[in-house]
Structure 1
Amino acid sequence: MPSISDVARHAGVALGTVSNVLNHPAKVAPATLEKVQKAIAELGFVRNSNAQQLAAGRSRSVGLVVIDISNSLFVDIARGAQRHAAELGMNVLVANSDNRIDQQRADLDFFDEARVSGILLAPMEDASEDVARIRRHGRPTVMLNYDTGRGDCCQVLVDNEEVGYLAARHLIDIGRTSLAFVGGRDYLQPVALRRRGVRRAVAEAGGRVTLEEVPTENLDPPGGLRAAEGLVAKVRGGRLDGVIAVTDLLAMAIIQVFGAQGVDVPGDVAVMGCDHNSAAWGGMIPLTSVQMQGLDMGREGLRLLLAEIAAGPVGHEHVTTVLRPELVVRESTVGRAAALTQL
């Protein structure tokens, strides 16, 4: 790649003149400015802003590591952070760890080596050792949608227990009394918390509502397809009239199987998800779900990160912000006519 020295030599000017063209063009005579800009274009020169920032002892970039960019929650988190960063003349660099802990660790190391100002991390599992290592290197880190329970870094959370509670409460309120909770293993914190919320809502119903818990190996559609196959007979036998899937992708897969088996949704059984994933909105039956406030999470996470960067490790007090989820009612639980009244 051509260097600034190559540009100066090609244009026949001093290095300082090229620097002024790049950083203070108003100081350069028009004819000289045009000559240097022409040399830049002819050589294909691109400034190394990262090196410039490192030389100045600062970076205008922060890293964001998410577990699954296909989930619109994490897309919204990125958008919220990027919008706030743009207002401040900063950049957010996004890495998708694709549901792999080893890739998440590699992404954190990459941003650490790139000397970003700080890191936003939205994991699904405990990453305390990696976060502690990054923070020891002077890289402030804010956790998103995961409660470390330690208070050693700032956090922005959605009340995931409330997510499960809202989902179960909605089905109970519309008269469903035989519920199933379809979800992954509890080592995934959001799954465990949503399960707890579902149990709380059922317990409050005082015995008039039953709950069956159906585990899945993963949170992707194949897990939902397998789970649904075991639920069809229960719906037909009148032993199940409401399903809460811990993710929208699971819910949409369950609806797909029910439809193929002639089970009416929501006539025979109401089905809903829990994470308002836009990837699941395009089905034949619009899905009731719970809004996770991803835009607000990204914006608030960046605000906390920049506050810690500005204050330094000694002057900063870690805080946790908890966002409230919101129920979004659609056709999969109340039918088309009733859903239209919600718009």
Structure 2
Amino acid sequence: MGTVSIRDVATRAGVSPGTISNVLNRPERVAPATRERVLRVISELGFVRHGSASTLRAGHSRTVGLSVMDIGNPFFTDIAAGVEEAASERGYAVILGNSAGSRAKEERNLLVLAEQRVRGVLITPTDDDPARLDALRDRGIRVVLLDHPAHRPDQCSVTVNDITGGRLAVSHLLERGARRIGYLTGPGTLRQCADRGEGAARAVTAAGLDPETVLEPIEIPAMTAKYGQQAAERLLASGSLPEAIFCANDLLAVGMLRGLLQAGVRVPGDISLIGYDDIDFAAASAVSLSSVRQPTHQLGRIATELLLDECDNPDTHAHQQVVFQPELVVRESTGGRRDPADPRPEETG
């Protein structure tokens, strides 16, 4: 069989070539039943459009870029799932770039995305310098900040109030009676870490206590389970454990929990522990972890919808800075009960 054309698909599906073009490029404009019939015919005939030709005509491809800080962190994996879902519904594919917290790698990834003529970019930037993002906009590539606030009115962003999240975590530990609280955090240059630390300090102040004496910052190079366990080992070697530890993400909390349990430290009997993000591992760990929940999938979806609206409707698009509120989830690691819906059954004595 020779090359299948758009006209062949249109004839088999009983629609016009223009409808086929809309299904491929603007699927939201086509009735669902018609769209499904066309897609079924495309699959039956094995039609493949000439992507490079359409890209040259339009000046861009039907792709968007996603640049995250650490794809190994389930927090970003869940965000990516939301991005892909929303993009797919609009007929877009997603190109993923992992900066690993490196600005140099992030810049290389953004260059590749620009070379691929992506329609827009969703990015969790490694710092607040806007230069490289302004360079993308100068090339006609739309940009939405993801898990990072915008500091300008002509920029869309979707984030979570991390100051509130830090306050929720430490207020909970204070209510449990803790008066020496370790704050296990990544590099202070990361906005998320700084905001969660600020929220922790506000909680202490609101309780009428001095953050300088209650909070003990423990900064490590990267927010991974490996560094969380190493931090536990250092604390144990010091011979002076705090009464509770607030970890800036759940991976750190999982590593900290592993290190404490291996040393025979009881959680929460000897020390309380709370994480941040509420990834699946939090509920399923050996001692289920209390955490601060972020709506990760929703973050990805809303950011993508804003980006594609700006791409497809530049004249009517209204820039938005969306801020979600986090939620405290109490489990065993701070003295709560295991949620019956958690994947691991509740232990009995």
TM value normalised by structure 1:
0.81
- Judge conservation of contact 1:329–1:342 (CA < 8 Å) in 2: no
- Judge conservation of contact 1:140–1:308 (CA < 8 Å) in 2: yes
Match of 1:49 in 2: 51
Task: Indicate whether 1:21 and 2:25 are aligned.
Answer: no
- Residues 161-310 of structure 1 mapped to structure 2, 5 A cutoff: 161-207=163-209, 210-232=214-236, 240-279=242-281, 281-310=283-312
- Judge conservation of contact 1:232–1:263 (CA < 8 Å) in 2: no
Deviation at 1:50, TM superposition (A): 4.3
Q: Which amino acid aligns with 1:128?
A: P
Task: Indicate whether 1:324 and 2:325 are aligned.
Answer: yes
Secondary structure class of the residue paired with 1:126: coil
- Judge conservation of contact 1:124–1:146 (CA < 8 Å) in 2: no
Of structures 1 and 2, the larger Rg is shown by 1
Identical counterparts, % of pairs: 34
- Judge conservation of contact 1:7–1:18 (CA < 8 Å) in 2: no
Match of 1:13 in 2: none
In structure 2, the CA distance between the partners of 1:189 and 1:246, relative to structure 1 (3 Å rule), is same
Q: Which amino acid aligns with 1:194?
A: R
In structure 2, the CA distance between the partners of 1:162 and 1:342, relative to structure 1 (3 Å rule), is farther
Q: Which amino acid aligns with 1:332?
A: S
Secondary structure class of the residue paired with 1:120: strand
Deviation at 1:24, TM superposition (A): 5.1
In structure 2, the CA distance between the partners of 1:278 and 1:318, relative to structure 1 (3 Å rule), is same
Q: Which amino acid aligns with 1:289?
A: S
Q: Which amino acid aligns with 1:266?
A: P
Aligned residues: 312
Give me the whole-angstrom Cα distance separating, in 1, the residues matched to 2:106 and 2:53: 25
Task: Indicate whether 1:333 and 2:320 are aligned.
Answer: no
Give me the whole-angstrom Cα distance separating, in 2, the residues matched to 1:60 and 1:86: 10
Secondary structure class of the residue paired with 1:212: strand
- Judge conservation of contact 2:133–2:143 (CA < 8 Å) in 1: yes
Deviation sequence 1:123-153 (CA, Å, 0-9, x none): 2423511101000000010001112423341
In structure 2, the CA distance between the partners of 1:98 and 1:25, relative to structure 1 (3 Å rule), is farther
Task: Indicate whether 1:158 and 2:196 are aligned.
Answer: no
Q: Which runs of 5+ in 1 are unaligned?
A: 1-5, 9-16, 29-36
Deviation at 1:252, TM superposition (A): 1.4
Deviation at 1:342, TM superposition (A): 8.8
Deviation sequence 1:145-181 (CA, Å, 0-9, x none): 1124233411101111111111111111222222111
- Judge conservation of contact 2:161–2:323 (CA < 8 Å) in 1: yes
TM value normalised by structure 2:
0.80
Give me the whole-angstrom Cα distance separating, in 1, the residues matched to 2:52 and 2:165: 41
Secondary structure class of the residue paired with 1:230: helix
Match of 1:91 in 2: 93
In structure 2, the CA distance between the partners of 1:104 and 1:25, relative to structure 1 (3 Å rule), is farther
Q: Which amino acid aligns with 1:328?
A: V
Deviation at 1:22, TM superposition (A): 5.3
My pick for the range that moved more, 108-117 or 315-324, is 315-324
Give me the whole-angstrom Cα distance separating, in 2, the residues matched to 1:341 and 1:89: 39
Give me the whole-angstrom Cα distance separating, in 2, the residues matched to 1:62 and 1:340: 38
Deviation at 1:325, TM superposition (A): 0.9
Deviation sequence 1:275-303 (CA, Å, 0-9, x none): 22335554311211111111111111112
Deviation at 1:47, TM superposition (A): 4.0
Secondary structure class of the residue paired with 1:166: helix
Give me the whole-angstrom Cα distance separating, in 2, the residues matched to 1:245 and 1:323: 20
Deviation at 1:246, TM superposition (A): 0.8
Deviation at 1:317, TM superposition (A): 4.1
Deviation at 1:226, TM superposition (A): 2.9
In structure 2, the CA distance between the partners of 1:71 and 1:222, relative to structure 1 (3 Å rule), is closer
Q: Which amino acid aligns with 2:220?
A: T
Deviation sequence 1:210-263 (CA, Å, 0-9, x none): 2211121221233223322232367x76x6211001111111111112112211
- Judge conservation of contact 1:60–1:116 (CA < 8 Å) in 2: yes
- Judge conservation of contact 1:70–1:279 (CA < 8 Å) in 2: no
